[in-house]
Each structure stands twice: as C-alpha cells, then as structure tokens.
Amino acid sequence: MRVVVVPRWGGTPADDWYPWAAAELEADGVELEALELPDPAQPEIEAWIAAVAAGLAAGVPAETVLVGHSVGCRAALGAVELLPQGVRLRGLLLVAAWWDVDEPWPSILPWQALEHDAARIQAAAGRPHVLLSDNDPFTSDWRRNCDQWVERLDADVRVHEGAKHFNAAHEPAVLAAIRALL
C-alpha cells in the first residue's frame, strides 16, 4: 500500500503534517510520498495535474490512496479524471478542500473556475472523503463548503473543530482518515 500526498499552495514534502504522517505510516508498512510539485508558490493547473498523474502512474492505483491538501485537492481531482477507464484508486481523501475561497487572489481564480467530472471521479476513486475545519481561515462558511462537496461529488464530509487549514506538524484526524482508507 502507498499514500500519495498532493501538497497545498506553497507546500513541499517537508511541510505541515506530511513528514510526520510518513513516519507514522512507515511503522505500519505503508509508504507515504508527498509530491514535489513544480513552482509550489505559483501552482499552475496543467503542470500540477500532470505531476500528480505522473506520481500516480509510478505505482499501482488499486493499492494507492491519493490525498490532496487545499489546492492540492483540485490538482488531485484533475489527475483522477485522467486515469484510464477501468482503473481505480484505493481511496481519495481531500483535506482542507474548497471550491472557492473567501478572498480569492488573481492566481487562484483559475483553480476556482476549474470544473470536474463527478461521474469520472467516482468511477476512478469511489466516493471522495473530505476533511474540513469549522475555522478554516480560507473558507469561513464551512457549512456552505461542506454542502458543495456533497452536492458536486456526493462526498463523505467530516468537519473537525478548530483544525484551521490542517497545517500543523501533527494532524491526527488526517492520519486516522488515511488509515481508514487503507
């Protein structure tokens, strides 16, 4: 089994909970790879989706849990849509996921406008699992955000109290959600 993490905007494999989760999962015999994505400070849709698709292609999809974090959720969804027909991931977890943010900046607008094929995503990844926080600084209306994930992708959404944007060095809720998908 393996876990592929798509980092947040500006994120690298050394940031947030990624190294801690990798060490925790290694003890379980599970490999976690946080992807090194091109120009993390200015993520471009095509480049990030291609990089995530390449990361997925490096392993066996049926033994892979794909985890997106923030903008990485949108790149993960785009990569899932590119999987060949009939290929399925073990699971899809979207952490601090959003469709739009409270105060968008110019370079995030294309990400917000990105459309996804719900049927294609569900065929390749099943029902997405989404972790949200009730105090995320980028999506203050967590109820609306939750409703959008359910309406658009029939996602299984869990809201965690006080988790902000899930940027801590240790995020037990994220680790538990990954383990549940394994």
Interval 7-65: pLDDT, tens: 999 999 999 999 999 999 999 999 999 999 999 999 999 999 999 999 999 989 899 99
> What is the pLDDT, as a whole number, of residue 61?
87
Give the number of residues written for the chain: 182
> What is the pLDDT, as a whole number, of residue 178?
98
**Cβ atoms of 82 and 53 closer than 8 Å:** yes
User: How many CB atoms lie under 10 A from the CB of residue 39?
Assistant: 10
> What is the pLDDT, as a whole number, of residue 171?
98
What's the predicted TM-score (pTM) here? 0.97
109 band by pLDDT with thresholds 50, 70 and 90: very high
